[in-house]
């Protein structure tokens, strides 16, 4: 048995021994269910790729509210001369 499966069994046994959680109807249905659980469509979990898309969207939104300002101070001229 893999370590992940062992951890799941340990977790479920701890819930089953808990005085309040073991009486929860959702837990009882989950434990007694034969077959696979239905796929959830109402919950959203952020994966790594989902976080990247979220940050890209936020960056795009911020970009719409900002604009590039031309550099007019002397430092930009000095940098151009050095480069």
**What is the mean pLDDT of the segment spanning 37-52?**
67
Domain spans, the chain: 1-33
Terminal C-alpha separation, the chain: 63
Distance between CA atoms of residues 79 and 73, nearest Å: 11
Q: Per-residue confidence at 36, pLDDT binned at 50, 70, 90?
A: confident
Residue found by looking up tokens 């969207």 in the block:
57
Task: Please say if the pLDDT value at position 38 is more than 80.
Answer: no
**Surface-to-core class of residue 3, CB atoms within 10 Å of its CB (0-12 exposed, 13-18 middle, 19+ buried):** exposed
* Residues in CB range of 71: below 8 A, 6 or more apart: none
pLDDT at 45: 62
Q: Which of 22-26, 39-43, 45-49, 56-60 bottoms out in mean pLDDT, i.e. has the lowest?
A: 39-43
């Amino acid at each position: 048995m893999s370590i992940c499966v062992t951890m799941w069994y340990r977790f479920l046994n701890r819930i089953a021994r808990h005085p309040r959680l073991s009486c929860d109807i959702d837990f009882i249905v989950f434990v007694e269910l034969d077959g696979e659980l239905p796929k959830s469509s109402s919950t959203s979990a952020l994966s790594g790729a989902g976080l990247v898309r979220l940050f890209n969207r936020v960056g795009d939104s911020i970009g719409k509210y900002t604009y590039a300002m031309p550099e007019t101070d002397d430092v930009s001229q000095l940098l151009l001369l050095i480069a």
